[in-house]
């Protein structure tokens, strides 16, 4: 497909609009119930190489959200083991509100990596729609994505849900793209994003039957 000169500019503008909406609106949103836990799990796994606090989900998104916090000099609550054994959700609240920790700044900075994932997903929404139906379709799909309240709401939270949606979508795009032109580079990209999806959330195991159905459908149509 030939690309019109204005298409990359329009894609860039739409993604900037989305990023601006996400960044400026998330300043007004208080921490959600599970953000504190995910951030604390990621921060402890990065600083102490201890993954006991995040056993309910794989560590990728938790660690990604917590990574910028490593440069903030945050303090962890003392004697966290008894808290986790009995009330694991309390640890996150104690971490956010420990003396010297600025909770608003922590939440804002930790949400930024998820906004970047949302921008990546937006680009792939454009890419897949463009590959299927042309550039106008790609721009229309991206426009709907950029102004979707549901997408905006979840993309600015430091939780695993949006990360799972992002990598599932991208993995499905790459297996589809590989089947259109089965070359080694596209196979590697499929494997990469398939693996990334599996270390985001346990529910991404749904990719196994999805990939099976995609490959089976391709086999039947060939």
Gap between the Cα atoms of 136 and 116, Å rounded: 24
Low-confidence ranges of the chain (pLDDT < 70): 1-4, 54-55, 77-89
Helix axes 160-180, 184-198, angle to 10 degrees: 160
pLDDT at 54: 65
pLDDT at 36: 86
b/e per residue 57-91 (b: at least 16 CB within 10 A): bbbbbbbbbbeebeeeebeebeebeebbeeebebb
Give whole-number Cα distances, 130 to 134, 168, 216, in Å.
4, 19, 24
3-state secondary structure 122-142: HHHHHHHHHHHHCHHHHHHHH
pLDDT at 2: 46
Gap between the Cα atoms of 2 and 4, Å rounded: 7
pLDDT at 82: 46
Asked if residue 146 lies in contact with residue 122, where contact means CB atoms within 8 angstroms, the answer is yes
Half-sphere exposure of 81 (CA within 13 A, CB side): 1
Residues whose CB falls within 8 Å of the CB of residue 35, separated by 6 or more in sequence, listed in order: 92, 107, 110, 157, 158, 159
Gap between the Cα atoms of 41 and 55, Å rounded: 9
pLDDT at 1: 43
pLDDT at 81: 55
Gap between the Cα atoms of 49 and 38, Å rounded: 15
Q: List, for residues 114-155, the tens digit of each pLDDT value.
A: 999 999 999 999 999 999 999 999 999 999 999 999 999 999
Asked if residue 93 lies in contact with residue 36, where contact means CB atoms within 8 angstroms, the answer is yes
pLDDT at 84: 53
**Prediction pTM value:** 0.90
């Amino acid at each position: 497909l030939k690309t019109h000169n204005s298409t990359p500019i329009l894609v860039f503008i739409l993604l900037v609009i989305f990023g601006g909406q996400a960044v400026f609106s998330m300043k007004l949103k208080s921490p959600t119930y599970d953000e504190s836990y995910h951030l604390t799990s990621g921060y402890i796994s990065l600083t102490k190489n201890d993954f006991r606090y995040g056993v309910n989900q794989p560590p990728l998104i938790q660690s990604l959200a917590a990574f910028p916090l490593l440069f903030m000099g945050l303090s962890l609550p003392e004697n966290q083991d008894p808290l986790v054994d009995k009330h694991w959700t309390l640890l996150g609240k104690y971490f956010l509100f420990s003396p010297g920790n600025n909770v608003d700044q922590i939440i804002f900075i930790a949400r930024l990596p998820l906004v970047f994932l949302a921008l990546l997903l937006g680009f792939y929404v454009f890419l897949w729609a463009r590959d299927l139906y042309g550039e106008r379709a790609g721009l229309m799909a991206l426009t709907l994505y950029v102004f979707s309240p549901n997408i905006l709401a979840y993309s600015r939270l430091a939780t695993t849900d949006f990360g799972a949606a992002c990598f599932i979508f991208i993995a499905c795009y790459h297996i589809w793209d590989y089947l259109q032109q089965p070359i080694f580079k596209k196979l590697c990209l499929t494997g990469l994003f398939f693996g990334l999806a599996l270390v985001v959330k346990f529910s991404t195991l749904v990719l196994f039957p999805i990939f099976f159905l995609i490959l089976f459908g391709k086999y039947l149509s060939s």
